[in-house]
Amino acid sequence: MAGNRAVVYSKPGSVEVRNTDFPELVLKDGPGVNPLNVGRKCEHGVILKVVTTNICGSDQHMVRGRTTAPSGLILGHEITGEVIEVGRDVEFIKKGDLVSVPFNIACGRCRSCKERNTNVCLNVNPDRPGSAYGYVDMGGWVGGQSEYVMVPYADFQLLKFPDKEKAMEKILDLTMLSDIFPTGYHGAVSAGVRPGSTVYVAGAGPVGLAAAHSAQLLGAAVVIVGDLNAERLAQAKSFGCETVNLRENSDLAGQIDQILGSPEVDSAIDCVGFEAHGHGKAHGEAPATVLNSIMEVTRAGGSLGIPGLYVTGDPGAVDEDSKIGTLKIRFGLGWAKSHTFVTGQTPVMKYNRDLMMAILSGRAQIAKAVNATLISLDAAPQAYQDFDRGVSRKFVIDPHGLVK
Residue 1 has pLDDT above 70, yes or no: no
1: three-class secondary structure by DSSP: coil
283-335 pLDDT, tens digit per residue, is: 888 899 999 999 999 999 999 999 998 988 888 888 898 989 899 999 999 99
Q: Which tops the pLDDT comparison, 319 or 352? A: 352
pLDDT value, residue 316? 86
Residue 209 has pLDDT above 80, yes or no: yes
Domain with CATH 3.40.50.720 in the chain: 180-343
- Residue 217 contacts residue 195 (beta carbons within 8 Å): no
109-131 pLDDT, tens digit per residue, is: 999 999 999 999 999 999 999 99
pLDDT value, residue 337? 98
Buried-state track 109-138, b at ≥16 Cβ within 10 A, e below 16? ebebbeeebbbbbbbbbeeebbbbbbbbbb
- Residue 158 contacts residue 99 (beta carbons within 8 Å): yes
Helix or strand (DSSP H, E) at 299: strand 298-306
Question: What residues contact 331, with CB distance under 8 A and at least 6 apart?
Answer: none
- Residue 353 contacts residue 178 (beta carbons within 8 Å): no
Helix or strand (DSSP H, E) at 302: strand 298-306
Q: Average pLDDT in the 351-356 region?
A: 98
d(CA 188, CA 192): 6
Question: What residues contact 323, with CB distance under 8 A and at least 6 apart?
Answer: 313, 314, 315, 317
Query: What residue type is 104 in one-letter code?
Result: N
pLDDT value, residue 282? 79
Comparing CA positions, the residue from 6, 151, 128, 25 lying closest to residue 73 is: 6
Domain range 4-179+348-397, its CATH number among 3.40.710.10, 3.10.20.30, 3.30.70.2190, 3.90.180.10: 3.90.180.10
Query: What residue type is 362 in one-letter code?
Result: G
d(CA 233, CA 228): 8
Residue 360 has pLDDT above 80, yes or no: yes
- Torsions phi, psi of 376, nearest 5? -85, 165
81-103 pLDDT, tens digit per residue, is: 999 999 999 999 999 999 999 99
Q: Average pLDDT in the 196-204 region?
A: 98
Residue 192 has pLDDT above 60, yes or no: yes
As a CATH number, domain 180-343 is 3.40.50.720
pLDDT value, residue 283? 82
Helix or strand (DSSP H, E) at 47: strand 46-54
- Residue 105 contacts residue 79 (beta carbons within 8 Å): no
62-84 pLDDT, tens digit per residue, is: 999 999 999 999 999 999 999 99
Domain with CATH 3.90.180.10 in the chain: 4-179+348-397
